[in-house]
Structures are given as C-alpha cells and as structure tokens.
Chains A and B, each alone.
Chain A
Amino acid sequence: MELQQLVPELEIRDLIVSMHKKEILHKINLTVYKGEMISLLGPSGCGKSTLLKTVAGLLEAQGGDVCIEGSSVLNMPTEKRGAVIVFQDLRLFPNLSVEGNIEFSLRLKGISRSQREQRVRELLEIVKLPGMQKRKINELSGGQMQRVALARALAAQPRLLLLDEPFSSLDEQLREQMRSFVQELHQRTQTTIVMVTHDREEALSMSDRIALMIDGQIVQVDVPEKIYRRPINKRVSDYFGGCSYLSGQVRNGVFYHPALQMPVSGYADGDWVVRILPGMVHLCEDGNWKVTKVCYQGESSLVTLQREDSILTARVMEPPGVGKMCGVRVDAEELLLLKQEPCVHTK
C-alpha cells in the first residue's frame, strides 16, 4: 500500500516509561507514517503493550514525548488523543447490544439517532455482520466479537488504530480469516494501524514495516523482507529464528570456517558469525555432513546436518534419511555476517 507522502502520523521521541519503580521502556524512538500498518513485534514482556497504552494515554510517561499529527499529546487526556486501542480481550460492553457498542463513540459526539443508525449499518456492512444490531454480546462467536470490536473502534474515527495482539485468542483458521479481514479493512479505510504481536509470521505477512522490540528497546525498524534477511544484529536474527550460524574469522576480505570459505566485502578482520537461512542451503550427493534430524512441515522439510561442531539447517522438498552423509552448497550472495557471539543453533 502507498504511504501518504510519508507524512508522520505518530512520532515517539526518547520515550521512557516506568512501572513500580522499574523502567519498562528505555528511550523509545519510532515514527509511524499516515496510512501505514506497522507491527510492534517482540517477545512477551518486552513492553509492546506498555508502549501502546502510553501512546493512547492510559499510562504516564516519565520522559520523552509522543506526538500525533505533529502535536504533543503527553499532556492531553486519553479521550482527546484520537488513538483507539482494540485490546486482546476485546472489552465489549456487556450491558450494551452490538449497536450500543458500535455507536458508543458516536453518542459521545452528540450525533443524532438517525445518523448513528446509518453509521452503525455501514460499519456492520464493512465488518460483514449485516443486520446484527440488536444482538447481545454474549450471543456472538469469537470472530464476530472481534469484528464488532473493530467496528466500534472505526466508529470513533481514530487518527491511530492500535491493535493489541488482536488474534492471539483465536484458533488457527479464524486467525487466518481475521488477518485477511484486517488487511482488507486497512486497504479500504487507509487508517494508520499499529499492531502489537509476538507472532513473527503475522508481522511479516501483514505489515508495511516491522519495529522489533526487545527488553524495552526498539532494536530495528524496517520493511519485513529487510528485517528478516538483513537483521541488524544477532539478537534480531535470533528472534526470527530458523537459521544456522557458523563461527569463523574474516582475514583480508575472506571469511574462513573449516566447512566454508568465501570472499566478503565491507567486513573488518576479526571474529564473525555467518548467518545462513535454510533456503540458502542446498544438499549434494557426496559430502561429510551427516543428517541428524528431519522435520516434516507439509510441502517441505527442515533437515538438520552436522559436521564436527558445526550445525546447518536446510529446507528441502525431498529429505534424505536420518544418518545419511551429504554435501552442502550455500548461496554466498545471501549470506550475512554478524558480530561474534556464542555459537547457537536456533529452531
């Protein structure tokens, strides 16, 4: 989708948030552009939801600034910021019907009854729940409640739509449907969306950009392909997982490892770790890599190979048997060198 001339919608500058005397967010800097869908990705407890709540005004910041459409909102009350959160637990109002929930923000604005009814009808059409105005919340399925929550958020005409792990409580099939639905909604309404998730596939498939958060800091912000293929450091690489590392040395523009030697440019001499994605590894007939594990994953399989202390993972269509000896060829153009850290094999 097109970012509307890269106009910043949300700017977070050096944001510090503490809770119970413990600093949760450490000088967060992030810019979200108008019409963009950005994912805040990271492990549980890294501060993603805290960041969302601070932007919405539900938590106080101890330092830094939050600007929406160029104006600082830190001293603005929650209800005036125009940042609407759809929480993981949806928080539909049980005392109101579907119509009552959706028109909640419209009533606050003093909109007439006929206009509210019209708007509720339109929104229910958008979320594909036509005619369900009078239904009670406890009569809805999980997916229906999700869509009512989204319709309620859209009724408020938010400047920012903040989704806090919106699909985590849904089963796999429903999650797929809702992801497509939200993407479609985003394309249709062009609302700026910030989505919190710990699901890597979700972030990679849905977002214009991903902001990876670890331990209360934003480590890397980039488009999905770059953040996956060119992680800025090993922490980011480890988060996405599914890759292999070979520890070696760079000397005079060449990377040396007992199993792998290749020319590299732009890397200083010293200890480095080469990151190899499963798709870069191709198996040959003869060699001295032993197949130690085969993990069937439907259309392809993940094969783990070992040679002395080195471990590689390859994605193949037709896996060899466990115990077979193979040769390995690696696509050198795609390889990435990261600074030396303890050699780990990630799943």
Chain B
Amino acid sequence: MKSKLSLCCKGIVWLAMFGVLLPLIVLLIWCFTERWAWPELVPQVFSLRGLREVLGSQALMILHSSILLSATAALIAVVVGLMTARAIVFYQFPGQKLLLFASMLPLIVPTTVFGMGIHLLLIRVGLSDTVPGVILVHVICALPYTVSIMTDSTRAIGKKLEEQARVLGAGSLRAFWSVSMPALMPAIFSALAMAYITSFSQYFLTLLIGGGNVRTFTVIMVPYLQNGDRTLAAGYTTLFLLITVLVFLVFRKIVQRFYPCLEQNRE
C-alpha cells in the first residue's frame, strides 16, 4: 500500500515537472526553427535567423539599464515592504487594517485605470517620461507582493530575538541587523525575486509613464512578439527567461555572501 502511494506521489511530481519543462523545451526548439507546422512533432526547417536577429537587435543594448531599473525598483519595494510589515506587525495605530488593504490595491485596481490616474499625477509633479517615475510605478506594482511576504515572515519571526539582542546591549538598528535580518533573508530573497519579475515584465505602465523615453527590454521586446513571428518571439522569450534566472542567481550569491547561514539553515 505504501509503495503504491509512493509511486503515485512520484508520478504526480514527474507529471508536474513535465508540465513545466515541456513548454520550455518547445520554446527552446522554436528558437532554432524556421518552420514547424501542425501536426508535425518535429520542425520541418531549422535556422539561426531568430538568434541572429535577437542578438543583433537593440533589445540587447538596453539590457543592462533594464536590469538596473528593475533591480532598483525591487530593492525599494522590498525596503518599503519590510518597513510596512514591521509597522503592521509590531505597532498598533489607527488605520492599520486600511494600510494593509491599501498595499493590496495595485492587485485589485485594473492596470489601465491605475496607469491613467498615476500618469496625470506624475505629469503634475514632473516625473512623467523619466526613469524615477517609471521606478516609482514599478515599486507600487510590486508592493502587494513584498508587503504580504514580509508581513507573514515578520509575524512568524516576531521580535523576541531582537528583544534579547537589545537587553544584551545592541541598539534597535543593530539588533534588527544582527538577528532579525538573517532570519528574514529567505523571505527577503522571495520578495526581491517577485518584485524584480513584476518590474522587469511591466510593459503597459512602462510605455505609458516612460512615454517612449524610458525603454526597457520588455518595451522593446513586445512589438516583436506581436508581429506573429514565432521564431523571433521564442528567441526574445528565451532571452528574457535566461536574464531573469541569471539575475536571481546573482541575488542569491549576494545574499549567501553576507548570510552563509541561509544555506546552513536549509540543511
């Protein structure tokens, strides 16, 4: 009975992995395919046209600034999320629940509605068509994820360890940095990853707020996806995925460099 259950569980895991990997494999094949008509299982014509066009396009030229913009937005979103989480978990003040609800609004309010509204505001304050304006909008979109992740983890960790550090002679900031931060690192990493991907994949808001002056990888990529060329679309998508995975690995390395206990605790 146990072995049947184990076999069933393994089967489900393999099925799930297959469900995730199969589309990626198909995507990779399309990068080198010129023609693959239904219902053929194997492409009829292979070529390197897609790769040549992607690697030679202007999308690569703005890659580093795109990554920098999204990384900045992710970092700000995590810092704001962490501070909001600490306020919600450790303090009592009027409007606390409203604050928590408000942090989720970017998920509830349709992007176009939000975009139109904030565009007007940013025009008034002179942040429209600027990089800071785009970063601000990306931060707002990422906040629901960072606030909810950091609130849950802050609540789980509590402030007991910080209290202990305080009585041992650490100031409040030192206590947080020395004992709470290491415990929060896995959650910070998750929040950073979610915020980064939210920012990096933003198209409509970047186009609207950036006004064409702020060009990110996604803004350059989407028109190519929309022109119906599957080879090009696959190439850009694969590049998008690769960049995202690389950035995640860099984040992880940075975290491990300062907090080696992250890996030890997993063991």
Contacts and interface: CB of A to CB of B under 8 A. Distances in A.
Given A95-B179, A95-B259, A95-B261, A85 B167 contact: yes
B169 A95 contact: no
Interface stretch (B148-156, B157-165, B187-195): B157-165
B261 A108 contact: no
A108 B164 contact: no
Given A87-B160, A89-B160, A108-B174, A94 B265 contact: yes
Given A93-B179, A94-B265, A95-B182, A77 B171 contact: yes
A78 interface: yes
B182 to A, nearest CB: 4
Main secondary structure of the interface of B (DSSP, over half): helix
Given A79-B171, A104-B168, A156-B168, A91 B265 contact: no
Contact of A95 (B168, B174, B265): B265
Interface residues of A, number: 24
B163 A58 contact: yes
Which of B169, B261, B264 has its CB near the most chain A CB atoms (within 10 A)? Answer: B169
Interface residues of B, number: 21
B166 interface: yes
Interface in A41-68: 56-58
B183 interface: yes
Contact of A108 (B160, B168, B183): B168
B169 A105 contact: yes
Interface string B177-204: 0110011000000000000000000000
A25 interface: no
Contact of A93 (B161, B163, B167, B259): B161
A58 B166 contact: yes
Nearest to A58: B163
A89 B160 CA distance: 9
B182 A79 contact: no
Contacts of B174: 108
A188 interface: no
Which of B160, B164, B167 has its CB near the most chain A CB atoms (within 10 A)? Answer: B167
27 contacts: A58-B163, A58-B167, A79-B166, A79-B167, A79-B168, A79-B169, A80-B169, A84-B167, A85-B164, A91-B161, A91-B163, A91-B164, A93-B165, A93-B178, A94-B183, A94-B261, A95-B179, A95-B259, A104-B165, A105-B168, A105-B169, A108-B168, A108-B169, A109-B169, A136-B264, A153-B168, A156-B169
Given A79-B168, A94-B183, A156-B169, 18 more contacts: A58-B163, A79-B167, A80-B169, A83-B167, A85-B167, A87-B164, A91-B160, A91-B161, A91-B163, A93-B161, A93-B165, A93-B178, A93-B179, A108-B169, A108-B170, A108-B174, A109-B169, A136-B264
Interface of A: 56-58, 77-80, 83-85, 87, 89, 91, 93-95, 104-105, 108-109, 136, 152-153, 156
